[in-house]
Amino acid sequence: MAETVTFGSHEGTVNGALSIKRLKLTNYRCYEFARLEVDDRPVVLTGPNGAGKTNLLEAISYLVPGRGLRGAKLSDVGRNVSVLGENRRGWAVAAQISHDGKIVDIGTGLDTGYSDPNRERRVIKIDGKNRMRQSELGKYASALWLTPQMDQLFIGGSSSRRRFLDNLIIGIDRDHAGLVSAYEHSMRSRNKLLKEKRRDEKWLDSIEEDIARYGVAVAAKRQDVVERLNQLALADPGTFPSAHITIIGLIESLLDEFPALEVEERVRSELVTLRSTDNDMRGPKIGPHRSDLVVLNVTSGLEASQCSTGEQKALLVRIILAATSLNALEKGQIPLLLLDEVAAHLDTTRRKALFDTICKMGIQAWMTGTDEQIFRSLGTRVQHFSISDAKIEQTKIQQSLEDN
């Protein structure tokens, strides 16, 4: 049932939170087969390092458009399975998802029968029917995530920050994944042509037109979503610091001054000029793949890169919660949250604030940790499971809570 909710000074109608009812993994990383049935509450997964907790979250991340939680190659996430003397890494993830009282069956995996050995293709099925485009998944599911690798987000390379932002955008606009993919494919095609001694100039012109069109579209979408995201990330800070995101890049600067069509023409013209020097694998020297994000901790006045590890983690949580609210306000849908080792670098006060926010918003968050005591205060507000050697079991803490 739809209800009106308020996030800071913003109000919107929310139909409910997405939730997984049943999850099945086949030949996925450490799992030969796994099946888990849950209800709408948040899910806590505890166990030792290397047990398979992150693998489970990664599997869920493939139920939405994009490249998954780790950004891994599709062929790298499957178990080695010998088929007629050949090693194939075929894998599958299937889930029954509930939203607003409706149930949908979603499945995805690696197409091991795809004819082109140099390219990978995902199989996507929705209610048993094959779908051709990843964006179809976005009609039924969306997810946001935080991983320990993101703890270095503000001090690492810019590519990780761009990927982080693009994942947030895909949760709000499923077509963004297709734009990014088309842009990157066009860049690879241009790189290949530039290395040829006798290249087809007309074909190169066509590819550069595509790069300009897709590149400006990607940059414009990033700017648009960041502007709306900042409104929520700058709201009443509460326990987590207010945050402000800025995208820095040549195309973004041009879009601040000129119409998109004019920026496209300027980019296309620049690509022609750069043909003699654009010969490395990073792609053109102009484009959204060269842009960067700067995040300001508004509460302290420091850039995120200058903040402590704990403050950086708090800023990430703030941005993820803002993106969750933006999903709810604009799509009427609260996404899944995949929070790997979420308690790391959060003090007790912030940890409690995060847990309370998740439960208050009705989010089905999937949270992992090595110490189940960290989550004990959540009681029966969540579902507790333990993972050991790729085996998933209900924990003693969950059993004792239910018995009481």
Instruction: Quick: pLDDT tens for 25-60.
Output: 999 999 999 999 999 999 999 999 999 999 999 999
Q: Which CATH number covers residue 396?
A: 3.40.50.300
- Binned at pLDDT 50, 70 and 90, residue 88 comes out as low
Same domain for 131 and 173, yes or no, is no
Same domain for 173 and 290, yes or no, is yes
- Binned at pLDDT 50, 70 and 90, residue 280 comes out as low
Q: Where a domain ends, among 275, 308, 331?
A: 331
The total number of structural domains that make up the chain:
2
Same domain for 179 and 110, yes or no, is no
Does the CA dihedral 296-5-347-45 come out positive or negative? Answer: negative
Give CA–CA dist 293/159, Å, rounded.
10
Structure tokens at 310: 């704990």
Same domain for 91 and 187, yes or no, is no
Same domain for 96 and 219, yes or no, is no
Given a cut of 80, whether residue 80 has pLDDT beyond it is: no
Q: Which CATH number covers residue 265?
A: 1.20.1050.90
| 3-state secondary structure at position 105 | strand
Same domain for 284 and 315, yes or no, is yes
The string of pLDDT tens digits covering residues 374-398 is 999 999 999 999 999 999 998 765 5
Q: What is the pLDDT of residue 54?
A: 96
Give CA–CA dist 311/331, Å, rounded.
30
Q: Which domain holds residue 60?
A: 19-141+371-404
Q: Is residue 262 part of a domain?
A: yes
Helix, strand and coil in the chain, % to nearest 5: 45, 25, 30
Q: Percent of the chain, pLDDT > 70? A: 89
Q: What is the pLDDT of residue 185?
A: 93
Instruction: Tell me the Ramachandran region of residue 143: left when phi exceeds 0, alpha when psi lies from -120 to 50, beta otherwise.
Output: beta
Q: Is residue 225 part of a domain?
A: yes
Q: What is the pLDDT of residue 13?
A: 53
- Binned at pLDDT 50, 70 and 90, residue 364 comes out as very high
Asked if 3 and 14 count as a contact pair (C-beta separation under 8 A), the reply is: yes
Q: Across 2-16, 101-115, 196-210, 359-373, which has the greatest mean pLDDT?
A: 359-373
Q: Is residue 311 part of a domain?
A: yes
Q: What is the pLDDT of residue 10?
A: 53
Q: Where a domain ends, among 306, 331, 356?
A: 331
Same domain for 210 and 295, yes or no, is yes
Same domain for 161 and 130, yes or no, is no
- Binned at pLDDT 50, 70 and 90, residue 132 comes out as confident
- Chain centroid to Cα 176, Å, comes to 12
Same domain for 310 and 166, yes or no, is yes
Q: Is residue 258 part of a domain?
A: yes
Q: Is residue 53 part of a domain?
A: yes
Closest CA to 55 of 378, 389, 371, 373: 389
